[in-house]
Chains A and B, each alone.
Chain A
């Protein structure tokens, strides 16, 4: 029963097609007439073009690909999700700009094609995940975003940490995908439905409940939420820093947003359970970040803590759904706060990991505190970017990070969970401890001996890096455009 694609279908499909098309084109270039510059240009144009196709989605909600002509669309985009999609594409762009000099040149440029192709496929998976409204698209999205990342994490194959990161991510990721897939199967078996609202059916049998629980675990793993966060530190640290930036900003946004969109279906969990999970994640993430002597690892674990705060937005949402139903003026509040938080965290992470990449080029590839001591003084531009990023991650005013936390806690207090908000706010104090420690190390200590730079000065990467740093400040002062 062939049915023509509607205009809405095309709007959603266009960025995906553009991304994968560009990826295939790069493979063709490599096969027919290898040219490194052309590959880079095609990849960056692919990402920019996809972003251009996402722009119209910022204005309106679009649902497409209604399954079997039925009522349930397989992909749904809202302005907030489209903004997150732009963030994913942007983080791939930043990762590309940062990888241009170090990763693409690695081992004589042998892996350039792989890098660029995977860098295009990965955000396609992120977009699918963000927009997924059906188990098929969710699973497809998660797999399409994960598989390239496994490879990208292990791209520096002479570096044991990189290989370890890839392997660890792959093994645990495959396990999580198993949970996800099996959970979906159980839910389908129990309810006969595969859409996001399947879990909202009135009477859920034990089979569906187990299935939803497994689906939840799969998503929690991808979002690196305690107790499923243990892979995060090793993988973030071992992966090449540009790839880490992509994971921190893009994967986190896709996974957490998917978790949010699928959470109403997981009615097993009352608001308090989400808040407890968030607090646990916040405690675990902060406490383990506090002890790190490596900036990259610290940022990874602080990312876990940020996911904890994001769970508070889920708690507020669950509470809102319970008490007030779905309508009302503030129904979008929790999602608005979540998407703003993800954007703010994304900008700050891109700036932080990007600046770290630039500093690593002068520290012999090391990111431990000893190697980075006083580096911000010697390299003022990455230093300033890192300073803004760390302040935004910590949540100081005039950065987007402050307003992001503020919006989430407003939602939490609005639904009457003041106690949890107080706990969360005081826990973020721990985060100030380690961000300030990092700033002390970068700015206030004497730098060590100068090392030769690993790659020549990279004006392009530095310029690209300024964008997320500037956005962190701009949206900290003027958040209105991002309250989507």
Chain B
């Protein structure tokens, strides 16, 4: 079973996608088939999470099969495996897809078959990114996950969808093409594309710098960090609700995951060298994203920019380079997927009913639409990081860790928490409280069972992780410790472990 779990996890959505595409079934049946496949995949994802040995270092459930030979770079393998960093991402991705399917009948009104096909194909691509343990295989899945979203935004998106989808693809492609150059150079230099071997290897520092720059550019665009973030609001606003959930919940995590695995872990020397700068970029993202989100009048844009801020935290945590911050970064990745995913679903709920996302069009929903208000408040508080919700644990760990290695940046990051509360609570006030400004808001259709079924588990997860994060943190600990062990020699060499270089513009006191 252990051998077959990961190939099964990958193969199921892939096979399901083509089953839906080629089966002559009617629309209803297609939805059921897709749902069954997604649920089975989610069950496997949970099984993976449960069976994962927290006390065992390195990759688990590994699977290997030869793929093709590349002269000078050995045998390219179909190598799969998970460790503490990826296992959470895999489970999160597998869990989000059924939720997206659940709400899709609300807003996917045409060409259902194609939608289901692309969605399942995307699931396979995303899972592949987290599972792949071969550079070429990773790259293939990385790109594969792009095409489905291109179609999902382009076909089922909003008014300006074609501009948004082409912008999204071209931005991402610039990054991935540069990554390809770095990838080939590493593969040729080491004569292998086996990730597990490369993670043990000590590459030549010059090559590390080059490759790290290539890989990191790609990931930073995907995350996205300021100034590469401009594709994100467009893509989010135009994407259908389900597409936004996947985009925020999983797609962006591919960037943060990549930064850890193919940035810090694979090129530790370069990572140590660049870490202060990347942490600065993270903090800029936190502050800038928060300020821009504050100014938004569009509900979905506000959530999109809040993503930029939240992912700034993840980047800051990743490059603080100590166990606490890294654990926080991984956890915050999951948290962001859950709470922002829920927020996008909640935006979609309102949009399906009113066909507008203007914050000003709402008000007083707490009285007219109490169930919605209940869920929105939970999601908002989780996003803000109120103690007792998942966001608190993640942000706290990141800030604690960052204080230890980059105190000034951590202070600025803490400012981001305050700003986050300002704009998220402001949004809540405007939508939920105050007088009912629009009569149409008095007669909103109550939440449908499918919407309850989609939102309730997400809210439950927010509270569960907030109150009892141990199962997640246990699973990430060893992997994060291994990451730190990987960078420590270089930190010592730079003398950076205790006295980090100050970011530009900061005077020592």
Contacts and interface: CB of A to CB of B under 8 A. Distances in A.
A418 B181 contact: yes
Given A414-B188, A443-B151, A396 B170 contact: no
For B72, B165, B169, B174, the residue with the greatest tally of chain A CB atoms inside 10 Å of its CB is B72
Contacts of B147: 391, 396
Contacts of A332: 71
A293 B401 CA distance: 55
A479 B177 CA distance: 21
Interface string B134-163: 001001111110110011001100000110
A20 interface: no
A421 B184 contact: yes
A425 B180 contact: yes
B188 A406 contact: no
A397 interface: yes
B166 interface: yes
Contacts of A329: 71-72
A56 interface: no
A428 B187 CA distance: 21
Given A396-B147, A440-B154, A444-B154, A425 B177 contact: yes
Nearest to A397: B140
A443 B115 CA distance: 13
A330 interface: yes
A410 B70 contact: yes
Interface residues of B, number: 37
Contacts of B178: 422, 425-426
A415 B154 CA distance: 40
Contact of A396 (B143, B155, B188): B143
B185 interface: yes
B73 A410 contact: yes
A410 B72 CA distance: 9
B72 A330 contact: yes
Interface string A306-335: 000000000000000000000001101100
A414 B181 CA distance: 11
Contacts of B187: 410
A409 B180 contact: yes
- Interface of A, helix, strand, loop or mixed by DSSP: helix
A149 to B, nearest CB: 35
B28 interface: no
B173 interface: yes
Given A410-B73, A413-B185, A426 B177 contact: yes
Nearest to B214: A422
Contact of A397 (B70, B139, B174): B139
B122 to A, nearest CB: 13
B206 to A, nearest CB: 12
A418 B185 contact: yes
A436 interface: yes
For B71, B143, B155, B188, the residue with the greatest tally of chain A CB atoms inside 10 Å of its CB is B71
A398 interface: yes
Contacts of A396: 143-144, 146-147
Given A432-B173, A479-B68, A397 B181 contact: no
A79 B237 CA distance: 52
Interface string B291-335: 000000000000000000000000000000000000000000000
A205 to B, nearest CB: 38
B177 A402 contact: no
Contacts of B144: 396-398
A364 interface: no
Contacts of B72: 329-330, 333, 410, 414
B68 A398 contact: no
A429 interface: yes
B509 interface: no
B69 A398 contact: no
A196 B334 CA distance: 62
Contacts of A483: 68-69
B68 A429 contact: no
Nearest to B142: A397
Contacts of B155: 443-444
A330 B140 contact: no
A436 B168 CA distance: 12
Contacts of B165: 440
Contacts of A425: 177-178, 180-181
Contacts of B67: 478, 480
A413 B181 contact: yes
Nearest to B111: A377
B151 A429 contact: no
Interface in B168-218: 169-170, 173-174, 177-178, 180-181, 184-185, 187-188
29 contacts: A329-B71, A330-B71, A333-B72, A397-B142, A402-B140, A406-B180, A409-B180, A410-B70, A410-B187, A413-B184, A413-B188, A418-B181, A418-B185, A426-B174, A426-B177, A428-B177, A429-B170, A433-B166, A436-B150, A436-B170, A437-B166, A440-B162, A440-B165, A444-B151, A444-B162, A478-B68, A479-B68, A480-B69, A483-B69
Given A440-B166, A444-B155, 13 more contacts: A330-B71, A397-B141, A402-B140, A402-B143, A413-B185, A425-B178, A425-B181, A428-B177, A432-B173, A436-B169, A440-B165, A478-B67, A478-B68
Interface of B: 67-73, 111, 136, 139-144, 146-147, 150-151, 154-155, 161-162, 165-166, 169-170, 173-174, 177-178, 180-181, 184-185, 187-188
The 8 tightest CB contacts between A and B, nearest first, are: A397-B140, A397-B143, A480-B68, A444-B154, A425-B177, A413-B184, A330-B71, A479-B68
